[in-house]
């Protein structure tokens, strides 16, 4: 075999291997979940990697079952509407700031509302160490509630961790004297089920159906008259959520 031809063949192979590696690396970089979160609103007609991130998150939370193709069309807008309707947001099909904040995708200014909890460790929140404790609290306080209501209770507890009005750790918030009935009656010690664990994970990932609530209660049960002075945001299942 001609050595010159052989060398040319080797260099061609190396060249194409390099091209393939670059393409694969680019693809991995922009897979949903690795894409930077969103700093601007998205709407019908938008396209690109940030729309893929939006579609992926909606898909993970059960609101979207279409292709992750980066095209903001009717299917994506309908999924956004379903998410908005389930989270007490204005239903317009536009992924604006408030919608993206509640999806845990907003990176712009949030006016005091946390956009993403996934790496938050400020004020004593340790995602790995506290997920089971949060799940136990969700199971004890909202085990009979719909899944959205379980996530909402988890979000309230996490909102308290970040509020200067409450203790600055998850255990401190949950075990604060007289804060939760499940602590006084011992239900907090029951092992959480799969739904509670998943709800805790979703709350830690930034899903807040309550839009920043710090209190929740069941109006059908005896409660302190003081709690009714709080500004009510929404009701999910049997619980009312308020600031």
Residue-wise pLDDT tens digits, 46-104:
888 889 989 988 987 888 999 999 998 889 988 998 888 877 777 888 888 888 877 77
Asked whether residue 237 falls in the same domain as residue 128, the answer is yes
Q: Is 45 among the domain residues?
A: yes
Residues 6+ apart with CB under 8 A from 70: 47, 48, 49, 51, 52, 55
| pLDDT tens-digit readout, 176-233 | 888 898 888 888 889 999 999 999 988 988 889 998 999 999 998 888 888 888 999 9
Q: Are residues 149 and 230 in the same domain?
A: yes
Domain edge (last residue) among 62, 78, 113: 113
Say whether both 140 and 201 belong to one domain. yes
Burial class (CB in 10 A: 0-12, 13-18, 19+), 124: middle
Query: In terms of domains, do 132 and 210 share one?
Result: yes
Which of 90, 113, 136 terminates a domain? The answer is: 113
Domains held by the chain: number:
2
- 231 in the same domain as 153: yes
Residue ending a domain, among 73, 96, 113, is 113
What is the reported pTM? 0.53
Pair (102, 160) in one structural domain: no
Domain range for 78 is: 31-113
Q: Are residues 173 and 192 in the same domain?
A: yes
- Pairwise pLDDT comparison (21 vs 213), residue with the higher score: 213
Do residues 97 and 190 both lie within one domain?
Answer: no
Q: Would you say 200 and 138 are in contact if contact means Cβ atoms under 8 Å apart?
A: yes
């Amino acid at each position: 075999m001609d050595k010159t031809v052989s060398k040319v063949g080797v260099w061609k192979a190396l060249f194409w291997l390099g091209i393939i590696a670059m393409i694969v690396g680019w693809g991995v970089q922009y897979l949903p979940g690795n894409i930077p979160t969103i700093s601007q609103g998205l709407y019908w007609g938008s396209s690109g990697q940030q729309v893929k991130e939006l579609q992926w998150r909606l898909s993970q939370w059960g609101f979207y079952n279409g292709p992750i193709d980066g095209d903001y069309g009717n299917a994506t807008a309908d999924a956004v509407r379903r998410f908005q309707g389930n989270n007490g947001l204005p239903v317009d099909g536009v992924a604006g700031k408030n919608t993206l904040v509640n999806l845990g995708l907003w990176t712009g200014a949030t006016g005091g509302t946390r956009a993403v909890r996934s790496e938050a460790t400020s004020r004593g929140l340790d995602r790995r160490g506290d997920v089971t404790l949060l799940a136990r609290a969700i199971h004890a306080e909202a085990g009979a509630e719909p899944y959205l209501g379980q996530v909402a209770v988890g979000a309230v507890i996490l909102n308290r961790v970040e509020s200067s009005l409450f203790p600055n750790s998850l255990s401190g918030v949950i075990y604060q004297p007289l804060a939760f009935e499940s602590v006084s009656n011992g239900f907090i010690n029951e092992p959480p089920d799969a739904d509670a664990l998943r709800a805790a994970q979703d709350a830690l990932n930034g899903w807040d159906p309550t839009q920043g609530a710090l209190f929740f209660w069941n109006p059908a049960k005896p409660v302190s008259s003081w709690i009714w002075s709080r500004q009510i945001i929404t009701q999910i299942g049997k619980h009312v959520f308020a600031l």
